[in-house]
């Protein structure tokens, strides 16, 4: 047991520790721009490997006055990032000069943080979605755990990249109303719910506009499992499983 622990542990002779792999993880986050701002959604689950350990995690938080941050990956690293950002916003407020950090600035800061942690071989194991509106300008970007970053009209992390982005590429438009954006978002979330095993049926949708941030209460989507093929599973082979 000790031998295994020593092999797995990152504690070497000089006593340093660094992240090797994630433990409690959140699954996809999806974000898209719509007419008045940004809309972002994530489920509220935290998995410990294949166990669903936490069912009420808030994986989308507001940063300063103009940004929303959604994270997938290691939850404790997300919490660490929130501490970094708290300090950043605090120092920004202390200038007391009427200026405030916009989403572009926060995205750049996060990119630098993630990249530099990766350079020290001690990454924050997250994929982040950063969205916001400042002075009428909408901004939506993503940062991965090694510092790969970009901005686009719609972004997604993890499985969302494979399942949600194709839907968004086909159906996203510049001038979506809030209701249309929510419908499109729920379409993506439903596909993820059916096909991502670490997704749970409890979502929060957050929106940010020039006026401010709203993060919804958690709610569930209607799913349909009444397919005839599910009715009698052993129909084709009686006695088998």
Rounded to the nearest whole angstrom, what is the least distance from the CB of residue 169 to other proteins in the complex?
A: 9
147 near other proteins, rule: CB under 8 A: yes
Rounded to the nearest whole angstrom, what is the least distance from the CB of residue 56 to other proteins in the complex?
A: 27
Residues near 30 by Cβ (< 8 Å), separated by ≥ 6? 40, 41, 42, 129, 154, 155, 156, 160, 164, 168, 185, 188, 189, 192
Rounded to the nearest whole angstrom, what is the least distance from the CB of residue 219 to other proteins in the complex?
A: 29
- In the block, tokens 């433990």 appear at 23
Rounded to the nearest whole angstrom, what is the least distance from the CB of residue 102 to other proteins in the complex?
A: 19
The Cα 218–Cα 223 span in angstroms is 16
2 near other proteins, rule: CB under 8 A: no
Catalytically active residues are 19
Token pair listed for 94? 């202390």
Among 9, 16, 79, 119, binds other proteins (CB under 8 A): 119
The Cα 198–Cα 193 span in angstroms is 8
Among 76, 100, 161, 201, binds other proteins (CB under 8 A): 161
Among 48, 91, 150, 194, binds other proteins (CB under 8 A): 150
Residues near 19 by Cβ (< 8 Å), separated by ≥ 6? 10, 74, 77, 122, 123, 124, 125
Which of residues 85 and 143 has its CB atom nearest to other proteins in the complex?
A: 143
Phi, psi angle pair for 181, to nearest 5°: -65, -40
Q: Which residues bind other proteins (CB under 8 A)?
A: 8, 20-22, 111, 115, 118-119, 121, 123, 142, 144-152, 161-162, 165
């Amino acid at each position: 047991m000790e031998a295994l622990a020593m092999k797995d542990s990152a504690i070497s002779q000089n006593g340093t520790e660094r992240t090797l792999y994630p433990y409690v993880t959140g699954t996809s986050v999806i974000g898209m721009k719509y007419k008045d701002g940004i809309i972002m959604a994530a489920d509220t689950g935290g998995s410990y490997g294949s166990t669903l350990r936490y069912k009420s995690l808030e994986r989308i938080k507001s940063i300063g006055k103009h940004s929303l941050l959604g994270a997938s990956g290691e939850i404790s690293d997300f919490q660490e990032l929130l501490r970094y950002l708290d300090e950043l916003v605090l120092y920004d407020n202390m200038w007391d000069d009427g200026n405030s950090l916009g989403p572009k600035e926060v995205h750049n800061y996060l990119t630098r943080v993630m990249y530099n942690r990766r350079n020290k071989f001690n990454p924050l194991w997250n994929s982040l979605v950063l969205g916001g509106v400042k002075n009428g300008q909408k901004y939506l970007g993503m940062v991965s755990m090694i510092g790969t970053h970009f901005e686009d009209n719609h972004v997604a992390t993890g499985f969302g990249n494979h399942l949600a982005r194709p839907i968004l590429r086909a159906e996203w438009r510049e001038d979506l109303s809030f209701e249309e954006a929510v419908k499109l978002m729920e379409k993506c979330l439903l596909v993820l719910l059916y096909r991502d095993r670490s997704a749970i049926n409890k979502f929060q949708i957050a929106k940010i506009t020039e006026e401010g941030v709203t993060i919804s209460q958690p709610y569930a989507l209607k799913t349909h499992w009444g397919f005839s093929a599910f009715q009698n599973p052993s129909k084709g082979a009686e006695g088998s499983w």
